Amino acid sequence: MPELDYDALNSQFESAYPQDILRWSAATFGDRLAVVTSFQPTGIVTLHMLHDLGISADVLTLDTGLLFPETYALMEDVEQRFNLRLKRITPALTVAQQAEQYGDTLWSHDPDACCNMRKVVPLKDVVSGYAGWITGLRRDQGETRAQTPIVSWDKRNNNVKICPFANWTEEMMWTYIGAYDLPYNTLHDQNYPTIGCVPCTKPVAEGVTDLRAGRWANQNKTECGIHQSN
């Protein structure tokens, strides 16, 4: 893989179409490129664009064992619709095994530990085997993501992290989904702005604009840890 000039790339990509960034990613990393998605709206748009461009890459998703039935149904639909090379990453411990060792509701009294075991560590073990990975981070998703670069060196995974939609907005994602009549998680129609594991995801009141609201309610936590630097 060639040395990358991240400043130049970010300057170039700031005004580029996401399709151009996806083409560059495929050309640069080839079969060492992965897409990581939890099947949120940005992930659906990413997978549709890749399919439309004829780009095939490994698609990685975390199956924590605690996802909503609606999320599993969407995975199945999108996997078949786009003929994905989908790899479901599972934690070392099942939910039952975790309960035996750490108690029935680890997510309640130590959500960071639960996320680390069920998300952060399992994903790192797999994604670090790729030279580059595409993710759906966007700057409008909250303060912790407001400075998200489009291309960066990922110290945690020792590879390149690509956020083709960093400067898109939630409205733009839904406009695209509507224009192409794409499937999405039906929980979004029930006031779930973002969707994770069942115990840690709640609907929000009408009019709430925080796109991370409803995650880890009543906890001092807004990120699972995957996108936080070491």
Look at residue 194 in the predicted model and tell me its pLDDT: 86
Q: Name the residue among 134, 123, 144 with its Cα closest to residue 215.
A: 144
- pLDDT score recorded for residue 221: 42
The fold of the 6-190 domain, in CATH, is Rossmann fold (3.40.50)
Q: Residue 186 and residue 191: Cα distance in Å, rounded? A: 10
Asked whether the CA dihedral 138, 125, 230, 71 is positive or negative, the reply is positive
Q: Answer yes or no: 115 catalytic.
A: no
The low-confidence residues of the chain, meaning pLDDT below 50, are: 221, 223, 225, 230
Cross-strand bridge partners of residue 60: 36, 87
- Three-class DSSP category at 35: strand
Domain extents for the chain?
6-190
Residue of 194, 192, 200 lying closest to 219 (CA atoms): 200
Handedness of CA 195, 198, 199, 203 (dihedral sign): positive
Catalytic residue (choose from 114, 163, 200, 224): 224
13/38 Cα distance (integer angstroms): 24
In DSSP notation, 115-169 reads HIIIIIHHHHHHHTTSSEEE----GGG-GGGTT--SEEEETTTTEEEE-TTTT--
pLDDT at 215: 55
Alpha helices in the chain (DSSP H): 6-13, 18-29, 41-53, 69-81, 95-102, 106-109, 111-115, 121-127, 170-179
